Structure 1
Amino acid sequence: MPHIPQIKIPATYIRGGTSKGVFFNLEDLPEAAQLPGAARDALLLRVIGSPDPYGKQIDGMGGATSSTSKTVILSRSIKPGHDVDYLFGQVSIDKAFVDWSGNCGNLSAAVGSFAISSGLVDASRIPDNGIATVRIWQANIGKTIIAHVPITNGEVQETGDFELDGVTFPAAEVQLEFLDPAADEDGAGGSMFPTGNLVDQLEVPGVGTLEVTLINAGIPTIFVNARAIGYTGTELQDAINGDAAALARFEAIRAHGAVRMGLIKHIDEAAGRQHTPKVAFVAPPADYLSSSGKQVLASEIDLLVRALSMGKLHHAMMGTAAVAIGTAAAIPGTLVNLAAGGGEREAVRFGHPSGTLRVGAQAQQVNGEWSVTKAIMSRSARVLMEGWVRVPGDSF
């Protein structure tokens, strides 16, 4: 009987921060997938191996977690003052759905190196040795990211001694600056606090009325106190991801918070917006054992944070959520700031399931409105494989 042959598409599999994803140059995609729409989504779903009712993504490049079910499309930037346009697609594991509503802060660490290696950055801007500054336009959310990529002998340096909790091996440090993380696409100062409040009362049927901080910085995030939902803030993945009732409560919080933030009009729409907003719970510092068995001491951190992504507790911390944490911590009165001890601060080190992470943010209040000029953190990135990814020719 006739069969459809596979096609091959140039692609690179890269670890960025504590995530992994399949990277594409826009021009290398099949013509039908070079524009947003059903064909592009269908292609990326097949590349990653979704939807998979078994939840394993065996027949694709995905790793069956939110951190490893990701795709990136890059192109030369059409935005003045930028080198590259960066589009991120979070691929659902068990549903035929690609969420384009937010950024991936972890994979942002790999965008600069891929752009340089793919010839998307003007060669005159890349030193023989030193740091290349790559100006990234994050097309999903209309924001600017500056990546500082180490260069050795004219090529991206990937190896080094920078250690990142949640990543087993050291690598070269890549510093990221998220400029105006709460600005809208035109850079005209979007609403960092959609309700206008640092703390809101959020009524969630079946859960109760919770104090929450609703913030749009890095990625829309709902912060809640750990103790208010029965946790200590020292939990690891197994304590939550195996508890169906707990996951349902978190999803209810996420859906009602999304409505309050104006991201959706009705809670039923939350299922079609899985990537955003995030839900995170915070607590004051405490000793705990990380997922690797490493002891984290209360004296080493400013607060505890646990966050959920795509319906499960994240094994470390999403980069975009780290921006939200750093931003909220810099603003006196938010739940994040209060968990860290209150007061003004420009950086925090927080404990997450895999260890600790430091993130900085510069906040200021003008005419009663808070704004953040930039958030800063360090990640690392490494190419794992490059060549072609293959999919059946009738996949899209």
Structure 2
Amino acid sequence: MSQPVTRRDFTFGLAAGAAIAGAGSISVSAAYADDVSVPTPPPLPQPVSKTICFVGGYTKHAPPGGAGNGQGISVFEMERDTGTLTPITTFTDIASPSFITLSKDHRFLYALSEIDDFNKDGDGSVTAFAVDPKTGSLRKLNVVSSGGAVPAHLSVHHSGRYVLVANYMGGCVAVLPIHADGSLGEATDVVHNTGPRQPERAADNPQGNFAVSDHSGSHPHMIHSDPSGRYVLADDAGLDRVYVWTLNLQTGKLVPAKTPYYDMEPGCAPRHFQFNHSGRILYNLCEQNSKIVVSNFDPDTGAINNIQTVSTVTSHFRGSTLAAEILISASGKFVYASNRLGDSLAVFAIGSDGTLTLQDEVWMHADYGRAMMFDPSGTFLFCANQRSDAVTSFKVNKSDGQLAFTSNFTPVGSPTTFAFMNTEV
């Protein structure tokens, strides 16, 4: 006979059932806990370095006939896949920074002003900047005399202790000491070159070349140390000579080498040079006849011995042109030269003995290309086209040295010079 279910029994039954159900639920959850995938948040974006491009050129403040459309030093970020330059800012408190260079550690940037009214002596000037390693922004440190009128080129000596300056109209080169904070001191040495007057045109000009180079006197166009840092060389485009010195690092004085200078083809106007990676082959670009003179260079004595002269224009070229810039690829296998007026880029292969073979002549896609520079990776070659107010770029085939136009045009007023750096993360 069944017992009647009391209210109390019913209540206890509900509680027990709930407990059993709860226990079963916990057991199922526990059984499947290891099989449940818990979504993990995506990793935070990692900071990456940027490639910064500095471009200088001619501003309205310049010697007579040299005024341009530039605003100062323009700063861009380079897109690494395409080579596109995106503007960041422009440093405007500087006159005609027609040549700029970075210190080896990229902490400082030095810019000349191609002017002749910095002081009562009619000198140009050099400005020192501190570079923000994370952004590439510039902070002016100080400005000093370049030691002569209308400087055309400057470089940081291999030791990192001096800036070397070539004063084109001043007919001299100068040595500026670098202080611990990157600022510059007054010149420790100024050397004036002298020699006989040379013809305005070279005898081995390209056919139909009516362009002339100024041979009214000494016109230093480039100064740089050799890769060992033992010697300092300067191209004098007015005297058609290559000067060679040693630099006393304690006094900042230039001392003539055993052979103090080498005569080039009369009228050829040696302008810029590059060394190969061993420092034993010198490639010297002559402006007026658009030739490259290849020489053996002795890093022990500073002696220069010519082994080849090659044209930067193809044999079918006729007309006026002036060569401007010369580069050597990071691989050390190719040399590139720009031709103003001819608006072309010459591509040379380097032989086992250092001699050059012209492979191609590429249209610059703009007018009066002067400076050229590779980005830090060597993937792109950039050209500063002064009269077109534009920078153009080419993709570099690192295997055969060939150039492919990117179709990228970057507007910059009267550009003449580059510097590149990768920012710190």
Q: Work out whether the TM-score is over 0.5.
A: no
Structure 1-normalised TM-score? 0.25
Structure 2-normalised TM-score? 0.24
The structure with more radius of gyration: 2
> Comparing both structures, which one devotes a greater share of its residues to strand?
2
